[in-house]
Amino acid sequence: MNFLPALFFSTLSGFLIVLGFPKVELAYLLFFAFVPLLFVIDHLDIKKCFYFGTLTGFVVYLLGFSWMQFTLKEFGGFHTLTAFFVFVLFSLLSGSFFGFFGSLTKLLQKYVKLSFLILAPLVYTILEYSFPTLFPWHIGGGFYKHLIFIQFVDITGTYGLSFFIVFINVVFYEALKSYTHKSLFPWKAMTIAILLSFSLFLYGKSRIETVVKAHQNKKELRLALLQTNVANFEKSIESMSDLSIQEQVHQRNAHMAEQAVKSQPDLIVFPETSVPGSFNLNKNLQLRMFQLSAHLKTPLYFGGYADDSNEAAIYYNTAYLISENYKILGRYDKNYLLMFGEYMPFSSLFPSLKNLIKEVSNFTAGTLPKVFTFKGEKLGALICYEDLIPSFVRKTVLEGATFLLNLANDSWFGESACPYQHLALSVFRSIEHKLPLVRATNTGVSSIIYPTGEIAFKSELGEQSILYGGIRPPHLKTFYTQYGNVFVLVCGIFLFFIMLWGFFFKHKL
């Protein structure tokens, strides 16, 4: 294959993948998006497969995650040109995922002598599980509205969905190849694909019916989510800095809470870092929030800060649950911090890096998931993009959570596609564990997601609003909750034995 056709097809695959992302959401294009890249892989050597596969990934990140450049500039303190070059470098490095997919698939095909139908889905699934990413995402994220089709992730996790998508792509590629090369049509593969799709549909339909029946008679927990819409630059983590701004924030919080209590919620929820100051040390701040809760006769759950000054001024991004009886019912310190926003990478090894970009905060990560008992249920605490990390959410559920409550602040990403991507990907945590997921965000998109993955209530981006809704946790246990990513383990074992078989019996090295 010549350079220009390879360039065109690799770029086309990246573009088609991005069209499956929120907000475009042409999800079914994902069943064809890999076909051009597979054509390239089939006609080039291992080294070139890596280069052109990386080009596909570069296009995916450059177009699909363009909001990262905005974040680096506005909140990372980078100069416009610096932000651009860092983003391009990030896209290139992250895009190498597809390069490794192409080269490893080609390598195994060469030495193991097996079809793409077996190798490509296995390689992609294992790479998606193991490849490091700054923003956790998966290829099936665009299907978040197709609820019947994606219910099976409560068995396989999202990696099973990725496997299925790549498999369907290979089936279409083999069918197209048979037409262009006048070879036998892949009837067996097509039959398997049709039967598998039909089985997933029946399973999804059955699971949704089971969940609906399970929570019908459960007591409803009523919630009021305050989307305060306060931009990052209007707040400070220092309890004594810019009191006028802090006072405006507190007044907005109190006014919105007064409005929210009219609906008689069981819990009023504020977003991430919505209460300025170190709540654990500032007695005046504690009194203020306790008095608000007592006045409203309603418990409050809010994002704030913690400052363990007795331990060399260690700061935490924290969530607090307080009662109307002047009690702190729970505290959770965020475990997974946002790189270049909440901490500077490698600053523990090179402390001088902290002064390189002064806009970057210096938070300390919490170490454990937390679950709080509330109104007979178990509240699983999450902050920011922790609802995108399957392993961490699973740990929280294994601690006993019967519903998940995530406080987020996506104002870091402006009015870009990121808040919509965040919402779409979080849907899969609900489906994996068949739990309600409540998301209270600063600037949107706040939402209440039912255990089936249905987004039952949703706010608009960039608006000050109150979202009302109720949840009924069904108290179901899923295969994924109990056994985690066993599907990936099976893929890994299967691929290992395929390699052994191929190396010893198909190809003598």
Express each pLDDT in 19-31 by its tens digit.
999 888 899 999 9
Express each pLDDT in 435-445 by its tens digit.
999 999 999 89
pLDDT band for position 217 (cuts 50, 70, 90) = confident
Q: Compute the distance between CA of residue 426 and CA of residue 428 in angstroms, rounded to an integer.
A: 5
- In 213-351, where do the E strands start and end? 221-227, 267-269, 300-308, 314-322, 328-333
Which residues is 381 bridged to in the sheet? 405
The answer to whether residue 236 scores a pLDDT higher than 60 is no
pLDDT band for position 354 (cuts 50, 70, 90) = low
Q: Mean pLDDT over residues 39-64, rounded?
A: 96
pLDDT band for position 216 (cuts 50, 70, 90) = confident
pLDDT band for position 114 (cuts 50, 70, 90) = confident
Domains of the chain: 3-213+486-506 (no CATH), 220-476 (3.60.110.10)
Q: Compute the distance between CA of residue 140 and CA of residue 166 in angstroms, rounded to an integer.
A: 10
Q: Compute the distance between CA of residue 31 and CA of residue 168 in angstroms, rounded to an integer.
A: 6
* DSSP output for 381-438: EEEGGGGG-HHHHHHHHHTT-SEEEEEE-GGGGTTSSHHHHHHHHHHHHHHHHT--EE
Q: Compute the distance between CA of residue 157 and CA of residue 180 in angstroms, rounded to an integer.
A: 36
- Return the ∠ at Cα 268 (arms to 262 and 274), rounded to 5°: 125
Instruction: Yes or no: say if 150 and 428 are a contact pair by the CB < 8 Å rule.
Output: yes
Q: Mean pLDDT over residues 401-415, rounded?
A: 91
